[in-house]
Amino acid sequence: MDYFARLPEGCISEILSRTSALDASRSSVVSKEVRSVAQNDLVWERFLPLDYQEIISTAVSPLKYATKKDLYFTLSHSPLLINQAKMSFSIDKRSGRKCFMVGARELMISWKGCWDFIPNTMSRFSEVAKLRSIGWIHIEAKIKTKILSENTKYGAYLVLWVESMEGLRSANTVIRRLKMMNDEEKKKERIESRGTGKIAKIRGDGWLEIDMGSFYNGSAADHQEEEEVEAWLTEINTPHLKSGLMLQGIEFRPL
């Protein structure tokens, strides 16, 4: 006898909402009673970020969904362009924690005159940055910690395409936290710095990514309202010119 299925619907809903999205999906096979509760918006609301409505309200195109479960899996599979298409937002399929990518147009790139912004059908953004030719590279993104999931370890990744990594193998990456002390001063704290030996890995979307480092984002009480994290990649050691590199953006995602 399935004693779990005989529990009151409110009890089943509370139990499922304290598990995970994947566990709730699997529970649907237990019985038709549990399946009915496992589809409930009240359950799936608990798996979504607390501020998801505020975030999706800035979407470039309205997001259509029938249920909160549909919304959860849509956001975990299809990044949403937000903030005038300057960033994308998605959630981690397992944890529901927030992922963001800063698009190429919003990156701080040295010698921007040596880059072209062109359409690319493989990119989630309307344009990518393509390098014509340059001797050294500095690429940087900043993100406010208050929009990230709390109490979560994040990784930063440079998302790109390049035929050869030769010009980037000696690149250095840095993760740094910036705290606003007053209107004129920021406290800078270097969290992680990595030296040479960069290797790009293939992503599920067909692009390559370089691991730039990681950082821990604590609770709202741990940091100030104006705290930011910046991630950058610099390559100034290789003498020959670099060309052909395409940038989609820098992604911040939970580990």
pLDDT tens per residue across span 185-229: 555 566 666 665 567 889 999 999 999 999 999 887 766 567 899
Please state whether the predicted TM-score (pTM) of the whole model is above 0.75.
yes
Which pLDDT tens digit goes with each residue over 58-90? Answer: 999 988 899 998 999 999 999 999 999 999 999
Percent of the chain with pLDDT over 70: 71
CB distance 235 to 242 below 8 Å:
yes
**Sorting pLDDT into bands at 50, 70 and 90, what band is 23?**
low
Query: For residues 50 and 167, which has the higher predicted lDDT (pLDDT)?
Result: 50
Beta partners for 211?
A: 157
- Residue 1 pLDDT level (bands cut at 50, 70, 90): very low
Non-local CB neighbours of 203 within 8 Å, separated by 6+ positions: 159, 209
Amino acid 190: pLDDT: 60
- The percent of residues above 90 in pLDDT, for the chain, comes to 45
